[in-house]
A and B are shown apart, each in its own frame.
Chain A
Amino acid sequence: MTGLELHQCYDGWDVQRRAALAAMEQRWGRATPTRTADDRLVFAWTIGNRRLEAEDIHDGHDGTAAWQVTIKPR
C-alpha cells in the first residue's frame, strides 16, 4: 500500500465541515493551511514519514460536499 484516500461527506453546512476538521485535528494535531504544488488549498499534517492533506471538495453546482483526505509517504 503506497497511499490512502478517505472521503467524509457532509450535508453542506459549515458547522458539519468544521466538525469534521475538528475530529481530524483532535486526532492528528493542529492542521497547517497550505497550498499544494498544483494550486489546491489544503490542510496538512506531517506524522512520522507520512503526509496528510485534507481538502474540502465542496461543489456548489451539484450540492456535494466532502472532505477528501489523502495520506501518502513524505
Chain B
Amino acid sequence: MRVLLLLLLAACDAHPSRLDAIVVTHGPDPTPRPRGARPIGEPRAENRDERDRDLDRKLREVASRDVPDDTASGGVSLASVLGSTPGPFGSLAAIKPGMTRTELLAALPTAQRDGELVWIPTGIDGVAVELAFDRTERLAEIVYHVPLAARPLLVGAWGAPAHETNVWFDPTRGWRARLGEDPVNGKIELAIAPYRPFADVIGRGPVRMASATRRRSSAPRSPTSRADSRGSTRQVPRTPSCCCPPPTSAPSQRVSSRAPLTVS
C-alpha cells in the first residue's frame, strides 16, 4: 500500500505564514501479489496516473495556500501600529520610561506576570512581546518578537536607523529601539528600552559639573534638574544588547549611561 508522507515545513524567511515545502515520498508497496494483478478497488494504470496528477495538483494548491502563523491571532497589522517615532507600540503604547512593574501592570490589565517576566498579548499579527525589569523594579526593556519581513516596515515608519547601526532613537520621549536579527529562527527581536542622551547625563553647555551646580543651589529644583538627579543615581537598567564592559574599579558611586550614544 502506498505510503504517503507529508512533511509540512512552515518556516520561511520571506513568507513566514506560507508553507515552505511539502515533501511527498512514495514507499514500496508491502503487499506481494501476482504480476498483473491489482488490489480490489485499485484503479487501472491509466486511472492511477490520473489520480497521481490530481493528487499533485491538490498538493500544489495546498502549498500555495496561506496557513495561520502560530503567533497570529487575527489582530492588526504591524505597519498600522508602529507610529512615526521609535517606542512601544500597539497595546503597549501607553508605557512611559521609568515605569515601575506595579505601575505598568496597573496600566496594562492584560499583562500576565511570569516570574521576572511580564507577558502581554499584543493583538498584532505575528508579534509577541516580553518585558523585563531591573533590580529597582523599573522597566528595563521591551522585547518584541517580530517576523523578518518587519524591518522594512520599521524603516518606513521610523526612518533610517542611526549611523551604521540597527538602532533608532527618540530623544524627546526617551526611547531607543535596537533591532536584533535571528535568521536561524526566522525572527527578529526589537528591543525597546528607555535611555537618556549622554549630553543630558553630563549636562549641556560650558558650565561647571551639573551635580556640583545642583548641590550648591538652594532654589527649588526645576523639573529638568529633578530628572537629572533621578537619572544619575538610579540603578542601571538590564540591557543585554549593551556594549559596555564590566567596570574595572569600584568607586563610591558609579553612573552608567548604557544607551548607545546620541548627542542631540
Binding site for B on A (CB under 8 A): 1-13, 15-16, 19-20, 22-24, 26-29, 47-48, 50, 57, 59, 62-66, 68-72
Contact = CB atoms under 8 A, between A and B. Distances in A.
Contacts, number: 112
Contacts of A13: 163-165
A40 to B, nearest CB: 11
A16 B256 contact: no
Contacts of B247: 5, 7, 68
Contact of B243 (A20, A24, A63): A63
B243 A4 contact: no
Interface residue SS majority, chain A: mixed
B194 to A, nearest CB: 15
A20 B167 contact: no
Contacts of B105: none
A62 B245 CA distance: 9
A10 B257 contact: no
B212 interface: yes
B244 A9 contact: yes
Contact of A8 (B165, B212, B252, B261): B261
Contacts of A68: 247-248
B223 interface: no
A50 B209 contact: yes
Contact of A27 (B164, B165, B167, B199): B199
A19 B163 CA distance: 12
Contacts of A26: 199, 204-206
Contact of A47 (B209, B242, B260): B209
Contacts of A27: 199, 202-207
B255 interface: yes
Interface in B210-254: 211-212, 242-245, 247-249, 251-254
B254 A5 contact: yes
A59 to B, nearest CB: 6
Interface of B: 162-165, 167, 198-199, 201-209, 211-212, 242-245, 247-249, 251-258, 260-263
A5 B211 CA distance: 13
A20 B263 contact: yes
B243 A6 contact: no
A13 B163 CA distance: 9
Contacts of B252: 1-4
B256 A7 contact: yes
29 contacts: A4-B255, A5-B249, A5-B251, A6-B202, A6-B254, A7-B244, A7-B254, A7-B257, A7-B258, A8-B198, A8-B261, A9-B260, A11-B162, A16-B261, A22-B263, A23-B202, A24-B202, A26-B205, A26-B206, A27-B202, A28-B202, A50-B209, A50-B212, A62-B245, A64-B244, A65-B243, A66-B245, A70-B249, A72-B251
B130 to A, nearest CB: 23
B253 A1 contact: yes
A3 B257 contact: no
Contacts of A29: 206
Contacts of A70: 249, 251
Given A6-B202, A16-B260, A23-B198, A11 B243 contact: yes
